[in-house]
């Protein structure tokens, strides 16, 4: 496993590649990010943004989503995988936020996970993005990078990888590292055809 000192080198390299890495989901209201994060399961941010640009224009408030016909929501998001289940989640998120939280998004991780389709990873993303609460949620890109750098084992669950990363990355850098690792996996150390010949941390790679 990488040491704290070794990860400092990785971090400097990520700084050089992606100095301004940030969430790539589009949203203007807090609840819109919740919905976008939920929709992003098993699909790309680009696909989600294409859908939500129309969805949030058609239903510009939480109440309008709550009152919307679920078939209409399905039609808006049918290009995404699992769209029927995700449409139910949208309605459920709107209902719980409107009735139980007075339309105010909670910052507590356990409270966020009461929302349909929002688990530990998604709640961490929301806390980082909306509330700037340090967290290091692990997605498929971070899993792949962690395995390749020897930080994690292939048998590790995402929560195990999250704990391991938090041991070698200072808390004040969790949010930045979360975004940079995702960008590194999305645009450089890809699942197929990673740019190994250009990589300056290849010495740590177990791939």
- Torsion 163-164-170-173 (CA) sign: negative
The model's pTM: 0.94
* Two structure tokens written together for 178: 């979360």
Per-residue model confidence as pLDDT tens digits over 188-200: 999 999 999 999 9
- Torsion 98-101-103-109 (CA) sign: negative
Per-residue model confidence as pLDDT tens digits over 50-78: 999 999 999 999 999 999 999 999 999 99
Q: Is 202 exposed, middle or buried (0-12, 13-18, 19+ CB in 10 A)?
A: middle
Decide if 45 is catalytic.
Answer: no
Distance in angstroms (rounded) separating the CA atoms of residues 109 and 196: 37
What pLDDT is stored for residue 186 in this prediction?
97
- Kindly state the average pLDDT of the residues 157-177: 97
Alpha-carbon distance values, 61 to 72, 74, 131 (Å):
15, 17, 21
Among 121, 135, 164, 176, which one carries the catalytic annotation? 121
Distance in angstroms (rounded) separating the CA atoms of residues 129 and 148: 26
Decide if 108 is catalytic.
Answer: no
C-beta atoms surrounding 68 within 10 Å:
18
DSSP secondary structure letter of residue 21: -
Distance in angstroms (rounded) separating the CA atoms of residues 139 and 184: 12
**Which of 95, 91, 57, 51 has its CA nearest to residue 75?**
51
4-22+135-204, what's its fold?
Answer: Endonuclease Iii, domain 2 (1.10.1670)
As a whole-number percent, the residues of the chain with pLDDT over 90 amount to 97
DSSP 81-143: TTHHHHHHHHHHHHHHHHHHSTT-----HHHHTTSTT--HHHHHHHIIIII--------HHHH
**Reported CATH class of domain 30-131:** mainly alpha
Q: What is the band of 138 on the pLDDT scale with cuts at 50, 70, 90?
A: very high
Per-residue model confidence as pLDDT tens digits over 67-122: 999 999 999 999 998 999 999 999 999 999 999 999 999 999 999 999 999 999 99
Q: Could you give the residue range(s) of every CATH 1.10.1670.10 domain in the chain?
A: 4-22+135-204
Q: Could you give the residue range(s) of every CATH 1.10.340.30 domain in the chain?
A: 30-131
Among 45, 46, 57, 139, which one carries the catalytic annotation? 139
């Amino acid at each position: 496993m990488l040491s704290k000192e070794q990860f400092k080198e990785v971090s400097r390299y990520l700084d050089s590649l992606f100095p301004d890495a940030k969430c790539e989901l589009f949203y203007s209201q807090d609840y819109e990010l919740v919905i976008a994060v939920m929709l992003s399961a098993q699909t790309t941010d680009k696909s989600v943004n294409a859908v939500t640009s129309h969805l949030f224009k058609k239903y510009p408030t939480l109440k309008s989503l709550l009152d919307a016909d679920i078939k209409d929501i399905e039609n808006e998001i049918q290009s995404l995988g699992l769209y029927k289940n995700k449409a139910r989640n949208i309605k459920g998120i709107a209902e719980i936020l409107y009735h139980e939280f007075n339309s105010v998004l909670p910052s507590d991780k356990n409270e966020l996970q009461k929302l349909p389709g929002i688990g530990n990873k998604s709640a961490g993303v929301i806390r980082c993005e909306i509330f700037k609460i340090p967290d290091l949620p692990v997605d498929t890109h971070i899993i792949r990078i962690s395995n390749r750098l020897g930080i994690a084992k292939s048998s590790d669950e995402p929560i195990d990888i999250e704990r391991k990363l938090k041991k070698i990355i200072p808390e004040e850098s969790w949010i930045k590292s979360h975004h940079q690792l995702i960008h590194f996996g999305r645009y450089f150390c890809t699942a197929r055809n990673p740019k190994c010949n250009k990589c300056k941390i290849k010495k740590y790679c177990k791939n």
